[in-house]
Amino acid sequence: MIKCSYCQEVSGIRKTGKIRGKQRFFCKYCNRHFTTGKNQEETVATQKDGITIKDIAAEVGVSISTVSRALNGSKEIHSATKEMILRKVEELDYQQHYIATSLVRKQTFTIGIIVPELKTDFYANLISGANEILRPKGYKIFAMQSDESFEHEIANTNALIASRVDGIIASTTFETKGFAHFERAKEKKIPVVFFSRINNVVDAPKIVVDNYMGAKMATEHLIERGYGKLGFLGGSDNLHIGNLRFQGFMDTLDKHGIKSQEKWIIRTDQLLSDPHRIILELLREKDRPDAVFTMTDTIGIHLIKCARTLKIDIPNELGLIGFSDYIVSQYISPSLSTMRQPTREIGMEAASRLLKAIANKNDKNYRDNTTTVLMPELVTRESTDRVKNRSRAGTPSRQQ
Amino acid sequence: MIKCSYCQEVSGIRKTGKIRGKQRFFCKYCNRHFTTGKNQEETVATQKDGITIKDIAAEVGVSISTVSRALNGSKEIHSATKEMILRKVEELDYQQHYIATSLVRKQTFTIGIIVPELKTDFYANLISGANEILRPKGYKIFAMQSDESFEHEIANTNALIASRVDGIIASTTFETKGFAHFERAKEKKIPVVFFSRINNVVDAPKIVVDNYMGAKMATEHLIERGYGKLGFLGGSDNLHIGNLRFQGFMDTLDKHGIKSQEKWIIRTDQLLSDPHRIILELLREKDRPDAVFTMTDTIGIHLIKCARTLKIDIPNELGLIGFSDYIVSQYISPSLSTMRQPTREIGMEAASRLLKAIANKNDKNYRDNTTTVLMPELVTRESTDRVKNRSRAGTPSRQQ
DNA sequence: GAAACTATCGGGAACGATTCCGGTGACTGA
DNA sequence: TCAGTCACCGGAATCGTTCCCGATAGTTTC
């Protein structure tokens, strides 16, 4: 790197202090001192793209190895040298090149999160929760959205693999049929953690809320409030989550020896595409349920609006409880009882588990495919408050 | 790369078809054919981390240059060779290494978005909008959150620079005082686009909604509905946005020759920390306003709850309009009139402008520091519907 | 006083791609 | 037959780091 300006020798050069701001060297072959510094020709070509450690090394008069040591807190460096280097780094506004570092370190400090939709409250909160764990550890987040499209999910996964992320957190789409893309990631030593919409195919940590217990708690709540003709509204049964919630509902009825009617139980995806028609049909029955458990708050909110249209009094003529604690649920009138999901905690837990998997990536005895089950929390509001209507306060989160 | 197995010569080797699945070569020096393929020793050491183009090249029997050409759609390659390579790529499940590519291409196809809070509806929508533009172009998004902390904002910016993102989209924090970090990014040829909370310091494209006009429209709406004693509720005046909205309000009053009272105009950050106390104080005045324009929907929602407590009838005794169209606003009862911000469009516009800046990065004559102003849209709901109360339908977005 | 050790540093090989440059054989046209 | 052109390909430099290995001078140990 440093060449003696007399004999052109490159080895046997040692630095010997400074003179007028320039580093002074000693060549043991010609036994003479010399200095480095840009000459005129070099100064012309100064318009570079960015400062590299090579520049720092040249300016300070050390090798790039030494600069690297200074930058990475190595012990094998003299404190004075380190100081000089760090001062020059400051002066030239050097910024580490993570790309180059990642290439040799084989670690990018990047993790990818794939969700069906970025703007949904649930997923935004989840990413935020994961960020709380990941940011302090120096990880950056690739936020990707699959738009409920299997193809996009695969494309996203491949992009993350190509970007050599250190790990992936994912919730699959409704239409996800295969998991080869995730298996590919795992083959390439990229740990994966699933949440919410999980599967039994890929060997990976999974985080879910207890949908079955949540449904039981919701149903118990309706019964406890004195409702007895219970209905269920949900999507079709191709979604694992839906099945669990439905099962919890049915089992609770059984437990209490309550019989529901077939027409009070609606499980169809039309509830997502054309909710009002389906709901109004149910509510116009002469013999309608006196309380309904909806698979999601979204459906519950639709139901509230339909009830408003038909002038049905919630909670007195009709009790209602949802699932998820959608942000709107506390503000709608009547406010909607629901099972709150610990969204932020799911994100944090997923991130923690992922970090653990990353740390043990090379230990082939390590294997974590356990499913963490977080318990949802019953939130009682006006829609099941049969005795008297209380108004409850809630604080909207800050907005723009 | 390919060495003749007889004479060890490396130049003058040409491939001459296949034999039993192995590539056949011809060495012009020894005038003999030979084949390549893994021998026993090599097979032992097969447990590698990942497939590289070097592996592909070796398997197919071409140079890595040729593999690169096949992968990047170069014209300088025989279609048959290309096909062979692509087949092997498929077979070995080769996945491009973006990190390595980025290093030499000096482009990462990554852009960073810095927002005060990821989980806020406004910002989540914005990121989603930006994603709509960026994903089809092959860009990935680093989603970063500043938590309204100036320090975090700087740290995030530095991390993005170190990651050599191709561009940055940012909305600054409330407490952002300096912009040196953004200037640093620009010096390193990383284009920056600001949105919403903008500044006049950094020379960059900016996207905002017209807060002044929005406020005028909101105020006009109140007047048009027959309200005459108008109040304003907002944060303190250290926020540009707040000033614009306040100015729009005042100018509209002036224009109509309406006089407001000082006590009806509240501009303090206590509205964010302790809203109910401030609002209740105002509403308990004997001589209170008959309509209020709140700087944000959040404040408006607090006001609705306070009015409920005091049994003040909205909209008949008190009219109310907010700003931003917070997701809750359409569901709260009474639903809240507001100025809707085209959130998604802001994200899309910011992304488009950023891409344009990236494309012209090296053209030093190119310079875009224009501010795009998007118009907010008046959404009338029950809170200003003085004549009669209509119920309005709205569709909640899909949730988990 | 030789050997062993320590503190400090430089050289150079990776990492996994892209890309410039030059080479080779085949073909074309005079 | 020979120069010129074209299609195709390989070699090697390069991107900006990290990190292993070896070198050196000074210090300590026996």
Q: What is the pLDDT of residues B86-108, one digit of tens each?
A: 999 999 999 999 999 999 999 99
- Cα B287 to Cα B290: distance, rounded to the nearest angstrom: 9
User: Would you state the pLDDT for residue B48?
Assistant: 53
Which residues between 25 and 64 in chain A have a beta carbon less than 8 angstroms from any beta carbon of chain B? Answer: 49-50
Give the residue among A127, A148, A137 at the shortest CA–CA distance from B143.
Answer: A127
Q: Does B308 touch chain A (CB under 8 A)?
A: yes
B393: nearest CA partner in chain A:
A305
B118-157 burial string, b = 16+ CB within 10 Å, else e? bbbbbbbbbbbbbbebbbeeebbbbbbbbbebbebbbebb
Give the residue among A196, A245, A239 at the shortest CA–CA distance from A347.
Answer: A196
Candidates 3.40.50.10070, 3.90.1150.10, 1.10.150.530, 3.40.50.2300; correct CATH number of B110-204+343-375? 3.40.50.2300
Chain A nearest-CA distance from B339, in A, is 12
**DSSP of A5-46, one letter per residue?**
TTT---SSEEEEEEETTEEEEEETTTTEEEE----HHHHHTT
User: Would you state the pLDDT for residue B254?
Assistant: 96
Nearest CB among B95, B142, B297 relative to A162 is that of B95
Q: Does B398 touch chain A (CB under 8 A)?
A: yes
User: Would you state the pLDDT for residue B49?
Assistant: 65
Give the residue ranges of DSSP H helices in A77-179.
Answer: 79-92, 98-105, 121-134, 150-162
Closest nucleotide to A77's CA, by C1' atom? C8
Q: Does B127 touch chain A (CB under 8 A)?
A: yes
> Does residue A4 or residue A154 have the better pLDDT?
A154
Reduce the DSSP state of residue A206 to 3 states and report it: strand
Measured in degrees and rounded to the nearest 5, phi and psi for residue A209 equal -90, 155
**DSSP of A69-86, one letter per residue?**
HHHTT-SSS-HHHHHHHH
Nearest CB among B50, B142, B396 relative to A326 is that of B396
pLDDT at position A15 over 80: no
Nucleotide D1 C1' to residue B15 CA (A): 29
**DSSP-assigned beta bridge partners for residue B193:** B169
- Cα A138 to Cα B359: distance, rounded to the nearest angstrom: 30
Reduce the DSSP state of residue B216 to 3 states and report it: helix
- Structurally, at CATH architecture level, domain A211-341+378-384 sits in 3-Layer(aba) Sandwich (3.40)
User: Would you state the pLDDT for residue B269?
Assistant: 87
- Whole-angstrom Cα Rg for chain A: 31
Contact residues on chain A for B143, CB-CB shorter than 8 A: 127, 131, 141-143
pLDDT band for position B44 (50/70/90)?
Answer: very low
User: What are B108-151's pLDDT values in tens digits?
Assistant: 999 999 999 999 889 999 999 999 999 999 999 999 999 989 99
Q: Under an 8 A CB cutoff, do B302 and A328 touch?
A: no
User: Would you state the pLDDT for residue A49?
Assistant: 65
Which residues between 222 and 261 in chain A have a beta carbon less than 8 angstroms from any beta carbon of chain B? Answer: none
pLDDT at position B275 over 80: yes
In one-letter notation, the amino acid at residue A230 is L
Asked whether residue A278's C-beta has any atom of DNA/RNA strand C within 7 A, the reply is no
State which fold the B13-101 domain adopts. 434 Repressor (Amino-terminal Domain) (1.10.260)
Which range of A119-123, B34-38, B52-56 scores highest in mean pLDDT? It is: B52-56
Which residues between 64 and 93 in chain A have a beta carbon less than 8 angstroms from any beta carbon of chain B? Answer: 93
Q: Does B211 touch chain A (CB under 8 A)?
A: no
Asked whether residue B68's C-beta has any atom of DNA/RNA strand C within 7 A, the reply is yes
Closest nucleotide to B105's CA, by C1' atom? C18
**Beta strands, E only, chain B:** 13-19, 22-27, 32-35, 110-115, 140-145, 167-170, 192-195, 206-209, 230-234, 265-267, 291-294, 319-321, 338-340, 371-374, 377-379
User: What are B285-339's pLDDT values in tens digits?
Assistant: 999 999 999 999 999 999 999 999 999 999 999 999 999 998 889 888 899 999 9
Q: Under an 8 A CB cutoff, do A332 and B331 touch?
A: yes
State which fold the A107-204+344-375 domain adopts. Rossmann fold (3.40.50)
Q: Decide if A78 contacts A111 (C-beta within 8 A).
A: no
Q: Which nucleotides of C are covered by protein (CB under 7 A)?
A: 7-12, 14-20, 24-25
Nucleotide D12 C1' to residue B66 CA (A): 14
User: Would you state the pLDDT for residue A396?
Assistant: 43
Q: Decide if A283 contacts A263 (C-beta within 8 A).
A: no
Indicate if B211-341+378-384 has the same CATH topology as B13-101.
no
B95: nearest CA partner in chain A:
A162
User: Would you state the pLDDT for residue A48?
Assistant: 52
| Strand D contact set, beta carbon < 7 A | A 12, 14, 28, 49-50, 52-54, 64-65, 68, 71-72, 94, 96-97, 100-101, 103-105; B 1-2, 10-11, 15, 61-66, 69, 75-82, 100, 103-104, 106
- Cα A168 to Cα A142: distance, rounded to the nearest angstrom: 9
Asked whether residue B14's C-beta has any atom of DNA/RNA strand C within 7 A, the reply is yes
User: What are A342-376's pLDDT values in tens digits?
Assistant: 999 999 999 999 999 999 988 888 999 999 999 99
Closest nucleotide to B57's CA, by C1' atom? D10
Q: Does B145 touch chain A (CB under 8 A)?
A: yes
Q: Decide if A248 contacts A212 (C-beta within 8 A).
A: yes
Nucleotide C28 C1' to residue A159 CA (A): 47
Q: Does A273 touch chain B (CB under 8 A)?
A: no
User: What are A82-132's pLDDT values in tens digits?
Assistant: 999 999 999 999 999 999 999 999 999 999 999 999 998 899 999 999 999
Q: Domain residues of chain A, as ranges? A: 1-37, 107-204+344-375, 211-341+378-384
